Amino acid sequence: MELNGITMPLQKSVWKTLGRSRRDNTKKTYDYAIRSYHATYKKKNYANLICHLQYLLDNGKTLSTIRLHYYAISGYFFHNNIMMNEKERYVLKEFLKGVKNTLGAMQTSKDPILRKNPFGLTISDIDNYIDKSRIKNKEEIRFAIHLCFTGGFRMNEVLKLTRSDIIVKGSQVYIEVKKAKTGDRVVLINNTDIVKKFRRFKDFSTIGYRAYQNINSLIKRICANKGFDSTKYSTHSLRAGFVTQATIYNASIKQIMNRTGHKSLSSLHRYIRIAQDINDDLMV
């Protein structure tokens, strides 16, 4: 693989991963990131890398773009034997954490998808669209969406589930979420339809390796079809919908946090406020 004239030895597994992406575009974007760094900084060191990433942050670049530049340039450094010392490692780690805290909340804050919503998208809207569409694996996609909403999961947590993570006991199912963003947890689901589907569940591999992107795109298409702003919705709207719906049903903060794995109240406050607004509207 050629990046800015540098040949990087890649293992077969890396080639396989690149093959699943748009490989040519990946090479071009990595090459652009490295060239943009060289155009500004003559010295190749991690201090200048941080300055470069700060420049991107100051100019309104997204979290994904900043991460792409970080991986491309740090990979270039590694394959040219430019190593970081302990101080640089610590500063870079804290800097990237600061970037995530700066941009992450803004990017993941999405409008909730609910069962009844006078202001936006609902689960029924998604079901109706899927029923009328010609997409493949309708039932698997519908199951993933309903599970994400009912369990308060992140979509990537749902798509990683395998049969070994599931224990069905009578009318209940226990789901073990491993290596989650906020730590491991066990979620109890007693929704009859979901429990029935888990009795014959294996995994979500039939949706395809681009399952997350496909479901995210599906939600945005449904938004456009219903006349809503698609930038305000994503797969995270299902998790946000669970928090909002649970608040509408008067669930306690502790119950919600036990289900979702949230560690702080700050990320829940917005959805609690939305739930209060919706409750007020429904009571009129």
pLDDT per position as a tens digit, 9-65: 544 555 555 555 555 666 778 888 889 999 999 888 898 999 999 999 888 888 888
CATH topology for the 123-283 domain: hpI Integrase; Chain A (1.10.443)
211 near 144, Cβ under 8 Å? yes
Whether the predicted pLDDT of 126 surpasses 70 = yes
Amino acid in position 235: T
The residue with tokens 């420049």 is: 55
d(CA 10, CA 28): 17
Q: What is the pLDDT of residue 242?
A: 93
pLDDT per position as a tens digit, 127-166: 999 999 999 899 999 999 999 999 999 999 999 999 999 9
Domain borders along the chain are 2-107, 123-283
Whether the predicted pLDDT of 220 surpasses 50 = yes
How much is the average pLDDT of 109-126? 89
Distance, CA of 196 to chain centre: 27
Whether the predicted pLDDT of 2 surpasses 50 = no
Give the percent of the chain with pLDDT over 70.
82
Q: What is the pLDDT of residue 215?
A: 94
Q: What is the pLDDT of residue 96?
A: 87
Name 167's Cβ contacts closer than 8 Å, sequence gap at least 6.
Answer: 173, 174, 176
Q: Supply the pTM of this predicted model.
A: 0.65
pLDDT per position as a tens digit, 170-203: 999 999 998 776 678 899 999 999 999 999 999 9
pLDDT per position as a tens digit, 61-88: 888 889 889 988 988 898 888 888 888 8
Angle at 140 between CA 136 and CA 145, to 5 degrees: 110
The residue with tokens 């809503």 is: 228
Q: What DSSP designation does 186 have? A: E
Query: Element (H or E) spanning 166, and its range?
Result: strand 166-169
Candidates 176, 146, 180; CA nearest to 164 is 176
3 near 31, Cβ under 8 Å? yes
